[in-house]
Structure 1
Amino acid sequence: MIRNVFNFINLHNGEEKKDKVLENVISNISFRGSNLWILACAIIIASIGLNVNSTAVIIGAMLISPLMGPIVGAGFALGTYNFSLLKKSFKNLLIATFVSLTVSSIYFYVSPFKDVQSELLSRTSPNIYDVLIAFFGGLVGVIAITRVEKGNPIPGVAIATALMPPLCTAGFGLATFNFSYFFGAFYLYTINCFFICIATFFVVKFLQYPSSIIDSKYEKRIRYGISVLIIVMIVPSFYLAYNLFNEKKFTKTAEQFVQKEFENNGYTVIYKKINYNSSPKTIDLAFLNKKFTDNEIASFNKMLSDNGLADTKLNIRQNDTDIKSEIMSEINKFDNNISEKDIAISKLRQELDTYRVSDSTLLKEIEILYPNIKNISYGKIVEYPLTDSARLQFTLVYSGTEINQEQLSNWLEKRLHEKNIRIINSDTK
């Protein structure tokens, strides 16, 4: 039974001949001629995808990228202790990296659109999850390479390990002189390359590819070196993952605070920005029509610590010009299709609400009290008396038998808490 289980999961089943696999790996390492042109085109496509925030375009660029070749070659070279192959793989990987950075930097330098989109921003802060994706993606890739029938995992590995977008993001950092973006994205690219290489190394050792050296002491030194490099690469990613966890926790707590203190009390939030990386951390809010006093704002700030938001400042934006500029800035970051028309529509809807009478039972009550009238219409209209100002007046228009308009007017004043109600019989000429 146990033997059958081991045969079922045996990685040697369906394995391609080792010399043929090595031949295929070596043939995909070199970056010359067509491979270099394909890489440059893929870099431009990925850069455009990041520039316009298009996930589909970025995925397309990853599928045609030939960057996996020298990385897998380096893994095979380490696994077989073939240092001439390792040297060749590193040389071609450096060429590919240099070309990619150059092409993406030139593109972003000449591009008129230099806004930081969400797709680009997500490649600037790698963490332990990126390590896991690169490692297990590399495992899938090298297992597929060593099979007689390759199947379809290779395109998925190219998408999952995402070598192109970090390189393009690093190019964006160079083009805009934003070196925090450059180092963050280049670290993610390094993580992906390194752990794909390490995954390849483990599979090659497990499948027992022939070694180019015999000295066991030398093998141990290489293994120790790889172990140290793994620790060096993983430790910063753990730290970044810890920061990401704290940021997500802070954001969730801030969202709950805003909902409890404002949204649940009927205040419509039209702008919200939570900044974890500032010192102190900030929560910026703006409301549709509510204005808070300085004392109220100070009181809300005192509540922050009691709600798990220590070292945080609440800013309530109440200047119309500032609010509009902030809203437009956030909209442009996440959706280029939204324009000032949407803000204008929101204002028009707000104005429309001042003319609307939102009382679903009023019409039924009038019909019960005054069964002889029909075709009832009512609402608020702007009246222009012989003064310098205008005023809203509730107006009811009906047709049918004449009724006691004064009585109806008095009832409506008390019912709607309105003054100067006007009643019009449309049948009266």
Structure 2
Amino acid sequence: MIVKKLSTFLRIQSDLDNMDAIHAAITNAIIFKGTNLWILVFAIVIASVGLNMNSTAVIIGAMLISPLMGPINGMGYSIATYDFPLFRRALRNFAFAVSASLAASTAYFAITPLSIAHSELLARTSPSIYDVIIALFGGLAGIVAISSKHKGNVIPGVAIATALMPPLCTAGYGLATFQFAYFFGAFYLFTINTVFIAISSVLFSQFLDFPIRTVVEEEKKRKVHRWTTAVIAITVIPSLYFGYLLVQKERFTVNANKLIASISALDGNYLLRYDVNPGSNSIKLIYGGVSLRQSTKDTIQRRADRYDLTHAQLEIEQGFSTSEISHDITEVDQSLRAEIGRLALALQRSRDERINAEIGNIQTRQVLLELKALYPQVVSLAYANPIQYTGQAPSDSSRISVVVMSTRRPHLRSAEKQRIESWIRQRISAQHIKTFYEQE
């Protein structure tokens, strides 16, 4: 009974538009002349200016009005229905649109006086397997919306999520500035989006058994399947490698921050500045204080090994050394040296507190997401680790964990609260925890 009800909710055949209407909508969207051509030109200019000015709002506007989704869906639909004339028309129109976009964006970036690669532009140069997932599911949402009687507001959201226009304009920037690493990275991201939006159209069209409007031999069908599989493999394999590199860089950054927090003060030396570069697996440390001894450097290397940074390139430098100052110094010099050391220590403590706060915020957010999956009535969660004083003696104090949780109806029962408190205690590795509940 439950399975039957669930299948009723998941059925989409009853919401499908007429097959002829779907075919006409997809066929009309692949044409690039008149209105569609002008809209494409406007979108190219808007996206290029948005990337040049690092304006997220302008880039989103360009993605919303871009008509590039039309021929991509047309290629996917024509492959699924083995409509080869339609596929050739869609491919020609798509190639024309891509060429026009590249030409226009290259010309814009060649003449604009602003040539700095801002964050919005750089974000389109490093695709990974996660972009494959976004393109696939975004394309599925798009083809479902096109095929439905109730179009809704899905298609604009798909245009934003899959982001076809900004990578093309970024590729134009790479050509205009002769930075071909940017060009290939951005064009690869565009290729990922194109291929997997088309593949999602193929999957959905075949799943719903869209009518085949021509007679096709079985050998031709097998040939289409082989080509489709080859294109998917060629597109996905590099993204898996780039996704692996992304995970490795993230892991390196996390481990490097843990190392830095543990070596902020060593043998009379205080960490003044550091630089973590996950791209080159290097960490630069600049210390102030007494002269760095080899034993201190060996300690840093051992701690790096402890945090899985054995192969990291550690560059340890002495910013200033108090031992190099003559012993015959005045009281003013001694006072100045002490003040510098005090300020350096205060600065490092402030940096450590900021790093710990950032790590704590990330952990609290993750705990909230996991808790919501178990108990949907949980709305928000706040976590702190204050010091508890008893007031009996100056030294009578201890660290406790305090959790404040907001819930909505139906409110949590006592047994559920006990399970949550036990789960949180294990999740954050806290022995003493106090939990408070707020009911909305």
Distance 1:243 1:266, change over 3 A: farther
Task: Tell me the residue number matched to 2:308.
Answer: 308
Distance 1:315 1:113, change over 3 A: farther
- Distance in 2 of aligned mates of 1:102 and 1:300: 56
- Distance in 1 of aligned mates of 2:167 and 2:65: 16
**What SS does the corresponding residue of 2:282 show, helix, strand or coil?**
strand
Q: CA deviation at 1:121?
A: 1.6
Task: Tell me the residue number matched to 1:21.
Answer: 22
- Distance in 1 of aligned mates of 2:121 and 2:195: 21
Q: CA deviation at 1:237?
A: 0.9
Task: Tell me the residue number matched to 1:259.
Answer: 261
Task: Tell me the residue number matched to 1:359.
Answer: none
- Distance in 1 of aligned mates of 2:58 and 2:169: 13
Structure 2 unaligned blocks of 5 or more: 321-338, 344-440
Distance 1:112 1:267, change over 3 A: farther
Q: What CA deviation, in whole Å up to 9, does each residue of 1:246-290 have, x standing for no partner?
A: 111111111111121117999887754322222xx2123557x76
**What SS does the corresponding residue of 2:67 show, helix, strand or coil?**
coil
Q: CA deviation at 1:232?
A: 1.8
Letter in 2 for 1:274: V
The root-mean-square deviation of aligned C-alpha atoms, in Å, is: 2.7
For residues 252-401 of structure 1, the aligned pairs below 5 Å read 252-262=254-264, 272-278=274-280, 281-285=281-285, 293=292, 295=294, 298-299=297-298, 302-303=301-302, 304-315=304-315
Letter in 2 for 1:283: I
Does structure 1 conserve the Cα–Cα contact (< 8 Å) formed by 2:46 and 2:62? Answer: yes
Per mean C-alpha deviation after superposition, the further-off stretch among 216-225 and 261-270 is 261-270
- Distance in 2 of aligned mates of 1:312 and 1:189: 33
Query: Does 1:195 pair with 2:202?
Result: no
Distance 1:264 1:201, change over 3 A: farther
Does structure 1 conserve the Cα–Cα contact (< 8 Å) formed by 2:267 and 2:296? Answer: no
Q: CA deviation at 1:44?
A: 2.1
Task: Tell me the residue number matched to 2:414.
Answer: none
- Distance in 1 of aligned mates of 2:291 and 2:267: 13
Distance 1:91 1:299, change over 3 A: same
Task: Tell me the residue number matched to 2:218.
Answer: 216
Task: Tell me the residue number matched to 2:142.
Answer: 141
Letter in 2 for 1:29: I
Q: CA deviation at 1:49?
A: 2.1
Instruction: Output the TM-score relative to the length of structure 2.
Output: 0.67
Q: What CA deviation, in whole Å up to 9, does each residue of 1:214-243 have, x standing for no partner?
A: 423322221222122212211111111111
Letter in 1 for 2:147: T
Q: CA deviation at 1:33?
A: 2.9
Does structure 1 conserve the Cα–Cα contact (< 8 Å) formed by 2:268 and 2:290? Answer: no
- Distance in 2 of aligned mates of 1:75 and 1:299: 59
Letter in 1 for 2:282: T
Q: CA deviation at 1:135?
A: 0.4
**What SS does the corresponding residue of 2:61 show, helix, strand or coil?**
helix
- Distance in 2 of aligned mates of 1:269 and 1:149: 61
Letter in 1 for 2:225: R
**What SS does the corresponding residue of 2:148 show, helix, strand or coil?**
coil
- Distance in 2 of aligned mates of 1:52 and 1:297: 47
Task: Tell me the residue number matched to 1:80.
Answer: 81
- Distance in 2 of aligned mates of 1:291 and 1:171: 52
Larger radius of gyration: 1
For residues 172-251 of structure 1, the aligned pairs below 5 Å read 172-211=173-212, 212-251=214-253
Letter in 2 for 1:302: Q
Q: CA deviation at 1:144?
A: 0.3
Q: CA deviation at 1:113?
A: 2.4
Task: Tell me the residue number matched to 2:113.
Answer: 112
Per mean C-alpha deviation after superposition, the further-off stretch among 24-33 and 188-197 is 24-33
Does structure 1 conserve the Cα–Cα contact (< 8 Å) formed by 2:44 and 2:62? Answer: yes
Does structure 2 conserve the Cα–Cα contact (< 8 Å) formed by 1:297 and 1:316? Answer: no
For residues 24-43 of structure 1, the aligned pairs below 5 Å read 24-43=25-44
Q: CA deviation at 1:56?
A: 1.8
Q: CA deviation at 1:313?
A: 2.4
- Distance in 1 of aligned mates of 2:271 and 2:65: 44
Query: Does 1:93 pair with 2:94?
Result: yes
**What SS does the corresponding residue of 1:255 show, helix, strand or coil?**
helix
Task: Tell me the residue number matched to 1:152.
Answer: 153
Structure 1 unaligned blocks of 5 or more: 321-349, 355-429
- Distance in 2 of aligned mates of 1:266 and 1:95: 66
Distance 1:44 1:274, change over 3 A: farther
- Distance in 2 of aligned mates of 1:292 and 1:96: 63
- Distance in 2 of aligned mates of 1:236 and 1:150: 35
**What SS does the corresponding residue of 1:87 show, helix, strand or coil?**
helix
**What SS does the corresponding residue of 1:284 show, helix, strand or coil?**
strand
Distance 1:299 1:26, change over 3 A: same
**What SS does the corresponding residue of 1:274 show, helix, strand or coil?**
strand
**What SS does the corresponding residue of 1:41 show, helix, strand or coil?**
helix
Distance 1:264 1:294, change over 3 A: closer
Q: CA deviation at 1:9?
A: 1.3
Q: CA deviation at 1:302?
A: 2.9
Identity between Structure 1 and Structure 2 (%) = 42
Task: Tell me the residue number matched to 2:373.
Answer: none
- Distance in 2 of aligned mates of 1:227 and 1:136: 18
Does structure 1 conserve the Cα–Cα contact (< 8 Å) formed by 2:286 and 2:318? Answer: yes
Distance 1:161 1:312, change over 3 A: same
**Equivalenced residues, count:** 321
Letter in 2 for 1:307: Y
- Distance in 2 of aligned mates of 1:99 and 1:160: 22
Does structure 1 conserve the Cα–Cα contact (< 8 Å) formed by 2:286 and 2:319? Answer: no
Does structure 2 conserve the Cα–Cα contact (< 8 Å) formed by 1:301 and 1:313? Answer: no
**What SS does the corresponding residue of 1:77 show, helix, strand or coil?**
helix
Task: Tell me the residue number matched to 1:390.
Answer: none
